[in-house]
Structure formats: structure tokens, C-alpha cells
Chains A and B, each alone.
Chain A
Amino acid sequence: MSRGSRRPSLLFWLVLPFMAFVTLLPYAWTFATSFKRRSDILSTPPTWIKDPSWFNYESMLFTRGFDLYLLNSVIIGVSSTLLALTVGTLAGYAFSRYKVPAGNHLFFYILATRLGPPIAYALPMYFLFSELGLLNTHLGVSIAHAAFNLVLVVWMMKTFFDEIPVELEEAASIDGCTAAQAFWRISLPLALPGLVTVAMFVFIFSWNEMLFALMLSAGDSNTLPVMIPSLIQHTGTLRGEVAAAAIVQTIPVIVFTFVAQRHLLRGLTFGAVKG
């Protein structure tokens, strides 16, 4: 019987709803909270949304100035993704197709950048960026995120390029392509599912990242995750605004996952089966 046609077992029906409940309930509660009026949020007994309102979103985005942080998150997420993909894809291709001097060592050292705790890199990076005048800029945080994600891009893209038969590039070179044209017109389009997968991982990392964003940015260049804790104030926690910010923060992750699910699955299983 093929995998696709196999009927789910009893265990599946017992475990899956439980897992879904445990995972989704907090999110559903946050979602509900984000539309509740302040008086309903902590009411006893707890209630679902009685009278839905956009108040928390308006307050968070416009009164508290989170529209700017949201924009910062988008700018830094997109630019760090583009930067990491550009450098990492080319490096992954080089590792896959060319004899790189000390290639194996180099490949391992790239991985080693992710072995240490991020805080170990954050402080030196702070001093370095301070010298370079990159503190409190979009570019600084983008570079930090891209650098941290590069290892993922290089490793995954090398694997994707390894799966593309080298004969296709040879055929292209006989057809008249230069090495760059063969990469651009043949290998890169074929690695697109992988590229989309990697792009999503990189973007979501940057979108959610807090440590580097906190260390390297301040004021007008702050990102959304850095600013959410600022809604916990000494006079009390703005629970509705926190919930609204959390929902906004998760939207791109959910959208990306659903929209690009086919790409994601194909990308994650790329190379698992030949053919």
C-alpha cells in the first residue's frame, strides 16, 4: 500500500487533536485577547470575545508607534534575507561545483559560526559595528542577521545544487553558456524550491530575532520583537496591545508557511529521493 493511501491509525486520531489543542489554544486565546476590550481581558470567569474591537491594534500601531517598528522588521527581514541568499547561494554553488581550496575545512568553519551561543558574538559585534558606524541602522542589524543565517543558506543551497545533475550545466556550456549563464539560467531556476525554502527560514529567523536587534539597534531602528516587551510598563501590562503585537508578529510566519507550503515540503525533502 502506498504511503498516501494508508489510513491514519487510532493513535493518530488520539494524539493529533491533543497536540493541536495544546499548540493552538494559547494562540487562539492571544488572538481573542487582541480583539477584546480592556475590561474583558481579565474578567472572571474568562470570556471569549463579546464585543470585538480593533482598539488594541490601533493603540499598538499608532498610539504606541509600533507602525515604525513593524516597517523596520519588514525592511530588516527583507534586506537580510536578500543579503544572506545572494552571498550564501553563490557560496553554496561554489562548494557544490568547484574545488574550493581547503574546501572541507572552510565548510566546517562556516558551520562553526552557529556552534557558539549568539551572545558570545553579540558583544564583539557591537564594538565592531560601533567602530563602523553601523549601530542603530537598518544595515547593521541586516548584516548581523545575514551573517548569522549564512551558514544555513550555504549548507542548504549546497545540498540543493548537489542534487542537480552536472550534465545539465555541461549541456548548457556546449549550448553556448558561460559558467555564469549556466548558473543563472539553468542551475538557479532548478534550485528555486530550495531557494524559497531557505528564504523563508532566513526571513522568519530575522523577523523573530531579538538579541542582535536589541544590541545593535535603538529608537527608530528597533524591530517589533524588541519593542513588544516595552508594552509591559511599570504602571501595568498593556495585555491587549501585547496580544495584538504578538498576532501581527506571527502573521508573516503563518502566511509564508501556508502560501509556500508546497515549496517548503519540496525543499525540505529535496534530495531525499532520487528521480
Chain B
Amino acid sequence: MARIDIENIRKTFGGVVALHDVSLAIPDGAFVILVGPSGCGKTTLLRLLAGLEAASAGTIAIDGRDVTALPARERDVAMVFQNYALYPHMSVRRNMSFALELKKIPRAEIERRVDATADILGIGALLDRRPRQLSGGQRQRVALGRAIVREPAVFLFDEPLSNLDAKLRTSMRSELIKLHKRLNATIVYVTHDQVEAMTMGEIVVVMKDGVLLQSGAPLDIYRDPVNLFVAEFIGSPAMNFLKGNFDAGRGEAVVAEGRGRLRLDPALAGSLAEGRRVELIFGVRPEHLLAAPPPSGASAIDGLVEVVEPLGAETVVEMSLGTQSLTARLKGDLLPATGSVLTLHVEPKSVFVFDPADGARLRAV
């Protein structure tokens, strides 16, 4: 367990800036997810924490100790790699005990820790096998075991579930959550999968192009994204974005070449009117689109149903609105016909507004 303080960390590779002055405070025992598309700098940040890369500027402190210039072996961190990086020439037991042997921990203590960790992960029967004799899921567990057995201050995970099949990934996800509760350890976990980010993280950090865009509790980010990128990245299916004009007189937006009218929250509408904003991007999450009109407003969007995906509990409908498109998650008993025109509604408080110039979220002042 340890707290991590990252201050103004910058990393450049040649002339390319991979991380732009990233600052982040990770509380003791937190499960932090670094999420973002490929090339956003999340893995670079993790490698900087591990000591596998040297920072170009800024500082990293673990439990108040400045580790920026320390080599990986002196940081008391453990890492689970995407491809597991198990030592192929060592047995599972040796893979797990290797770090403890280097620390010159007594043999009996090593045995005790390896056996206890193997019990937790259910890999006791595999201890004498070599990594090549294990399945992907078993290798994953051994890689986890190798980290756990060290009892490090910080666990670092680099997309550890990306090589597993979908079913195993789901079960490992819940096991990792349980493991975190059990160990109460500080975990920094890198993924590009927003579902992993939402379900596992206590704190989610969204990154793009080497910049930390937003960090916070998963639901806070989902409910209150700071910009268009975060709004689109967090949530599945992704948020719908409709170009449109704001009509200050009526306090509503006309979107998708007149195919929809969105009533806005009065406070937000007031701010937009004050700022004389007209052309804007309006965001609505698929799950906030309603088949029946809500009592609060007269929003309505007419779309041509193109694809209907009945999933049982819900129906995902893709509609076209001229040149724009819209995805809605409706109740499972609603099955609109393909090719029909469907009218959907949305509560004023569920409409997000973004600046088309830089994607920034516009809020009520």
C-alpha cells in the first residue's frame, strides 16, 4: 500500500512528446485505471512509474519518497505485463520466488509466501510446470502471482486481460476486483477497454495524445465529461453527437437539419444565450433516448430505423438522420421495424453541449 504523487511528468522520445506535464495524485490503496486510445501515453506513464523509462521532466513520489531517478529494482513496485513476460526457463514456482530470492528472503518464508499466493489464485497444482505448459488464463494467474508474492507497495498492470478470450476476461475482471479488496493494494491499471475502466476502477484517468483529460470516479466521468472526447470514450455504446443550432428564443436546439428539436436545461440555455452561441454539438447518450415523451419537455428526434439489435433485456437501434446517425438503447420489448420512422425523446438534463471548435463541454454558468 502506498500513495503515488505524479507531478508535471513529461516524457519525450526524440522530438516527440509522449506525455505533456501530467500530474496525478493516487491515494493509498486506490484502484486507478489509465484509459485511452492507442498512443495516448498511458503505457508510457505506467513504464515511468515502474522505472522502465526515465522521465524527461517532473517527479514521481511513492509514499513521499522521490523515486524519479531510482532504477526499477529499487522502487518496490510489481508489474504484470501484457504478454505476461514469465521466465520460460523457470518453473512456475521459480517464476514466483525469483524476486524473493534476489531479496535474500529466507527459504522457508519464500515457500510460505509462494504456497499462500498459489492458494489464493488456485495455481497450486501448476507450481512445477513451465510457462509453455500453461494455458493463457493460467499464465495470467502466474503473472499475477509473481506480482502478489512480492507484497509490493504498488501493483502496475499493463493491459493484462487483452490476450484472454471474452469469457475469461470477464471472470478475471471480477477476480481482480476481489483481489484488490483482499490485498487493499494500490493498483495502477492500463487498458484501452472502457468497460474494464468503468467496472474495475475506483479512479479512472482518461488520456489522449499524452495529455491527462479527466480523472475521477467512473460514474462521475460518465455523468460529467469535460469534453467531447471523454464523453465519446466513456460509455458503451458511445454517446451520440448531433450538429445543430441553438435557438435562444425558444431555449432549444434544432439538430440534424431540422429532424430533431432538443429542449435544453433552462440554466444551460440561459448561459448559451448569454454567450450568443448558435452552432454547437449536442450529445445524448443512447440510454437517455426514450420511446415515450417525458413530462418535462417537448424534445423529439425523428429517425429512419436502419438496424435493430434485439438483445433480450434491451434493444439497440441504429437510426439515420439525414447525414447524421443516432444509436438508442431502448427497452427489450420495443422492436421497431427496419425502415420505419421512429420518434425518440430526451430529458433536457440529459443533453450535453460541446463547442465545435475545441470539443470543450459547455455548461451552465
Measuring CB to CB, which residues of chain A are less than 8 angstroms from any residue of chain B? 165, 167-168, 170-178, 181, 186, 189-190
From the candidates A172, A174, A178, name the one contacting B50 in the complex (CB within 8 A): A174
Which residues 43-85 in B have Cβ within 8 Å of A in the complex?
A: 50-52, 71-73, 75, 77-79, 81, 83, 85
Chain A binding surface SS class: helix
User: Do A190 and B72 have beta carbons less than 8 Å apart?
Assistant: no
Check B89 against A170 for contact (C-beta < 8 Å): no
Give the B interface residue count (CB, 8 A): 23
6 further A-B contacts with Cβ under 8 Å, apart from A174-B52, A174-B73, are A170-B85, A171-B85, A171-B146, A175-B99, A175-B102, A176-B73
Partner of B87, one of A171, A178, A181: A171
B interface residue numbers (CB < 8 A to A): 50-52, 71-73, 75, 77-79, 81, 83, 85-89, 98-99, 102-103, 146, 150
B78 close to A174 (CB less than 8 A): yes
23 sample A-B contacts, Cβ–Cβ < 8 Å, listed by A number = A165-B83, A167-B83, A167-B85, A168-B87, A168-B88, A170-B50, A170-B79, A170-B81, A171-B81, A171-B86, A171-B87, A172-B98, A173-B52, A174-B52, A174-B72, A174-B78, A174-B79, A175-B98, A175-B146, A176-B99, A177-B73, A189-B89, A190-B89
Kindly name the residue among A167, A186, A190 whose own CB sees the greatest number of chain B CB atoms within 10 A: A167
Interface centre among A165, A171, A181 (most CB of B within 10 A): A171
Contact, CB under 8 Å: B72 / A173:
yes
Residues in A with CB closer than 8 Å to B73 are: 173-178
Q: A170-B52, A174-B51, A174-B73 are in contact. Are A165 and B99 (CB under 8 A)?
A: no
Contacts of B50 in A (CB 8 A): 170, 174
- With both chains docked as a complex, state the minimum distance between the C-beta of A207 and any C-beta of chain B, in angstroms: 30
B contacts with A: majority SS: loop
- Sorted nearest first, the 3 A-B pairs with minimum C-beta distance are A175-B99, A176-B102, A167-B85
Q: How far is the CA of A167 from the CA of B159 in the complex (A)?
A: 14
Q: Which chain B positions have C-beta within 8 A of A174?
A: 50-52, 72-73, 75, 77-79
Find out whether the CB atom of A165 lies under 8 angstroms from the CB atom of B89.
no
A178 to chain B: which residues have CB within 8 Å? 73
B52 proximity list for chain A (CB < 8 A): 170, 173-174
Q: How far is the CB of B353 from chain A (nearest CB, A)?
A: 44
Complex Cα distance, B70 from A176, in Å, reads 12
Closest approach, in angstroms, between the C-beta of B185 and any C-beta of chain A?
15
What residues of chain A lie closer than 8 Å to B102, measured between beta carbons?
A: 175-177, 181
Partner of A168, one of B71, B78, B85, B103: B85
A-chain residues with CB within 8 Å of residue B150 when the two chains form the complex: 175
Closest to B77 in A: A174
Q: Chain A residues near B103 (CB, 8 Å)?
A: 176
- Expressed in whole angstroms, the minimum distance between the Cβ of A160 and any Cβ of chain B is 14
Please report the C-alpha to C-alpha distance between residue A142 and residue B42 in the assembled complex, in whole angstroms: 52
User: How close is B92's CB to chain A, nearest CB, in angstroms?
Assistant: 14
B88 and A171 contact, CB distance less than 8 A: no
The residue in B51, B79, B86 that gathers the most chain A C-beta atoms within 10 A of its C-beta is: B79
